[in-house]
Structure 1
Amino acid sequence: MKKKSQMIREIEDVNDTVPAFSNHILRHVLLPELLGKEEEMILYWAGKALYRKLASSQALLEDKASFFSAAAWGELELIKEKRTELHYELLSPKMEKGRPFTLEAGFLSEWTEVETGCTTEATYEVVKKDPCTCRITVKWDPKDQVNLD
């Protein structure tokens, strides 16, 4: 398994060599075209699947805010924690107005599901358009346990 510092360096190298324009074309032009009206639902489940794919890389997934920053998804901050809810604020200046945050919501949902052992659901609400800021709420029911085997 790679050490955290080595993985972070590799991510930073990718961020330095892959132009933001490439990410912009994929996220804001190609995905809406390919996914059409099902885009939000597909991105939510893609976010959950992406977390599962990366879960074996503990060094990469130690801290949510660091991961979001490394993935160029924006600045994530936990703003409120309740017994069965987490409330995040995501400042994402590279996100275009009107674009969905369901990929990020699905990713946080799965991460929380693994942490809590309960089925989770995440929703988002855009609260500011410039720079683009959204609130993501992750909820779970302690009675609804999942089998994580």
Structure 2
Amino acid sequence: MTVEEKQEVTSHQVSTFGVELLRDVLLPEILGKHSEEVMYWSGKHLARKFPVADEAELVSFFHEATWGYLTKQSESRTGVVFECSGEYIEKRLSLKETPSFSLEAGFLALQVEQQVKRRTESTYTIEKRKKKVTFTLKWEEFVK
């Protein structure tokens, strides 16, 4: 692919309709009651395949994956809170009553775990009125 062709491909907005069909319709039907857990662990698997070095790369990955715009809201000695918003989040929230963000939660959990070097888990809260998703990550404290 030439540079011009690559620029043309990246300049066009790519439709996320196919991804939405798989993620919000087909996979939940196939996985049934295990959908949330499988998507969470799938997110962790993706984090192993696509490690990021720091928060800036994490934010960039979310944007490139069309998962939304990720921003850190707060951090303490035992965890961190991220907010994800943007057009893709708004669209998913408008198309499905309760879309799953377990894939993103699992991805965040392992990426942060690798950075803080402590076992980390993530939960999420959908804030439909504010058109955003909040991810709360907690890690284990060091035992002295």
TM-score tier after normalising by the smaller chain length? 0.7 to 0.9
Choose which of 49, 54, 74 in structure 1 pairs with 2:50. Answer: 54
Choose which of 75, 84, 92 in structure 2 pairs with 1:90. Answer: 84
Cα drift, residue 19 of structure 1: 2.7
Q: Greater CA deviation, 73-82 or 91-100? A: 91-100
* Alpha-carbon distance in 1 for matches of 2:137, 2:40: 13
Map Cα deviations across residues 52-97 of structure 1 (whole Å, 9 max, x no partner): 0112xx58x8522211111011111101111111101111123233
* Alpha-carbon distance in 2 for matches of 1:122, 1:63: 19
TM-score norm. by structure 2 comes to 0.79
Aligned length: 131
Name the counterpart of 1:63. 57
CA contact (8 A) 1:74 1:93 kept: no
Unaligned runs of 5+ in 2: 1-5
Amino-acid identity (%): 38
* Alpha-carbon distance in 1 for matches of 2:106, 2:17: 24
CA contact (8 A) 1:44 1:106 kept: yes
Q: CA distance change for structure 1 residues 50 and 15 in 2, over 3 Å: closer, same or farther?
A: farther
Q: What pairs up with 1:1-149 in 2 under 5 angstroms?
A: 13=9, 16=12, 18-55=14-51, 63-91=57-85, 92-95=89-92, 96-129=96-129, 131=131, 133-143=132-142
Q: CA distance change for structure 1 residues 25 and 15 in 2, over 3 Å: closer, same or farther?
A: farther
3-state DSSP class of the match of 1:94?
helix
TM-score norm. by structure 1 comes to 0.77
Name the counterpart of 1:6. none
Larger Rg: 2
CA RMSD, Structure 1 to Structure 2 (Å): 2.6
3-state DSSP class of the match of 2:91?
coil
Unaligned runs of 5+ in 1: 1-9, 145-149
Q: Runs of at least 4 residues of structure 1 off by over 2 A?
A: 12-19, 128-131
Structure 1 or 2: more strand by fraction? 1
